[in-house]
Structure 1
């Protein structure tokens, strides 16, 4: 969405409003530590198996989408992107570890070569800047992303189940070039390395042990 004169002001106001949302406002309560399901194949859940991640759809228009993601204890939403999209993520309960990255321009002649593992990968390889790896709780401000900043991220539930409210503007739409792509970190920074730091990512299909189920949204109706 083009950033007009009022974009920054509206974004700040939305961030303030989202920061006030609590789990009870959406009629949600923390869940027990249900284990993450075993591998069921991307997008192909096994009957009777609890999915590692579930999604509660709230609403979607041509301008934005809104919903709640529920992560079981130990679950991870793999590293993925949001092409041309702005987003906000607000933790409702639990603790999330979110790693945020920026895609970098195509490698110049003097840029380092990708690691050898990239040659055998199923998809293209790209350089990225690992900007941050932080823990978020309900007391944290929303995690923000834009088309050019923190657009790639990985989300892990830490020490128990977690849930977050997710707003994307505009929403995913493959017909308009806004499809979700998944990536694998080829060479990450050693533990304790100061960030930001350049890394190499390999585009991959969704992980075999990641799939997302659906649940009804129990909270107040949202009228776009």
Structure 2
């Protein structure tokens, strides 16, 4: 089906993202039929987007010295647009690069690979409700005694898989798949990223990084084989994100 030349696909995606997330103010909103219908339309549009639509392409192979490569950011970001409702841009990962395990507090998100392949591992936090602790939780002790308090979080591995430009988008919600790590597989990769609402440290939406301590041993029939402990850590020294200009169609929101 030919595309409407008057409106770029990325503009349609931005407009639909605004409609989808403009009234999304709580985690339970994800059960709302209107929201789910709008989200489905956004997924359909995202599934169509390709790198050429944004005028980007995989980088050509270049030979650089180890001194030069140490100064090159492993990940760069192309900013497309941001409003109070959502932010949208493109992350570009160099071959072998990773975005460490991190969270998106109170945020929805969608990730669509544009070129290359990435492996994405998603986790859910298993925070205690109302300060209570079940018998099963009391049996499940942190693996390393020096790590205590809020720095250590109980979690479960929800999903792990590879995504390419032929895959549909990876979707996260405030409660499901909210923490994830992303690794470039067999070369460089790029993906379109939508977060709603955007990160905002002043509104308790700051990015936190985590390290997997170890997977829990199954202690009872109620335990999950994928349960683990995550340690909150500073941003890893070997990860930083540079910026580069977005070359694609202009987006107005």
**Deviations for 1:30-74, whole angstroms, at most 9, x for unmatched residues?**
1135699989xxxxxx99821100000000000000000000000
Alpha-carbon distance in structure 2 between the residues aligned to 1:170 and 1:37: 40
Alpha-carbon distance in structure 2 between the residues aligned to 1:135 and 1:48: 27
Alpha-carbon distance in structure 1 between the residues aligned to 2:46 and 2:56: 16
Q: How far has the Cα of 1:133 moved from its partner?
A: 1.1
Note the 1:1-224 alignment, pairs <5 A. 1-2=24-25, 3=29, 4-32=32-60, 49-106=71-128, 108-110=133-135, 111=137, 112-116=140-144, 119-120=146-147, 124-188=151-215, 197-224=226-253
SS at match of 1:82: coil
Alpha-carbon distance in structure 2 between the residues aligned to 1:128 and 1:162: 28
Let me know the Cα RMSD of the aligned residues.
2.7
Alpha-carbon distance in structure 1 between the residues aligned to 2:194 and 2:208: 18
Alpha-carbon distance in structure 1 between the residues aligned to 2:159 and 2:233: 22
Normalised TM-score (structure 1): 0.87
Alpha-carbon distance in structure 2 between the residues aligned to 1:201 and 1:8: 31
Q: Give unmatched runs, 5+ long, in structure 1.
A: 40-45
Q: Give unmatched runs, 5+ long, in structure 2.
A: 1-23, 218-223
Alpha-carbon distance in structure 2 between the residues aligned to 1:216 and 1:59: 12
Residue 42 of structure 1 is matched in structure 2 by none
Q: Which has the higher contact order (CA 8 A, sep 6+)?
A: 1
1:48 to 1:188, Cα distance in 2 relative to 1, 3 A: closer
1:187 to 1:9, Cα distance in 2 relative to 1, 3 A: same
Alpha-carbon distance in structure 2 between the residues aligned to 1:33 and 1:24: 19
Q: How far has the Cα of 1:121 moved from its partner?
A: 7.5
- Are 1:33 and 1:73, in contact at CA under 8 Å, matched by a contact in 2? no
Alpha-carbon distance in structure 1 between the residues aligned to 2:64 and 2:184: 11
- Are 2:216 and 2:229, in contact at CA under 8 Å, matched by a contact in 1? no
**Deviations for 1:131-189, whole angstroms, at most 9, x for unmatched residues?**
11100000111000000000000000011000000000100001111100000000147
Higher share in helix: 2
**Deviations for 1:4-54, whole angstroms, at most 9, x for unmatched residues?**
541110001001100100000000111135699989xxxxxx998211000
- Are 1:122 and 1:203, in contact at CA under 8 Å, matched by a contact in 2? no
- Are 2:125 and 2:153, in contact at CA under 8 Å, matched by a contact in 1? yes
